[in-house]
A = this chain, B = another copy of it.
């Protein structure tokens, strides 16, 4: 009669996994969209390699800025100075 605990746990597990699979599907869809944009840009005569390099550089620059800020905070912390910003 009714479900045993083991089955309930199994159902919950299946639910978690189902959610993840759905999200992975969405993620793949987004990746496909990105491919499409690159293809469209290429069809309009743009150099996709240069575009990718540009995007990468923009991302890296942001990272460096964040890292420098973090580094400063680390130094301040090392000297017991609060770094509330």
Contact = CB atoms under 8 A, between A and B. Distances in A.
Say whether chain A's binding surface is mostly helix, strand, loop, or mixed.
Answer: helix
A78 B50 contact: yes
B30 A26 contact: yes
Interface of A: 10, 12-14, 16-17, 19-21, 23-24, 26-27, 30-31, 33-34, 37-38, 40-41, 44, 46-47, 49-51, 53-58, 60-72, 74-79, 81, 83, 85
A75 B20 CA distance: 15
Nearest to A58: B79
Contacts of A58: 17, 21, 76, 79, 81
B66 A64 contact: no
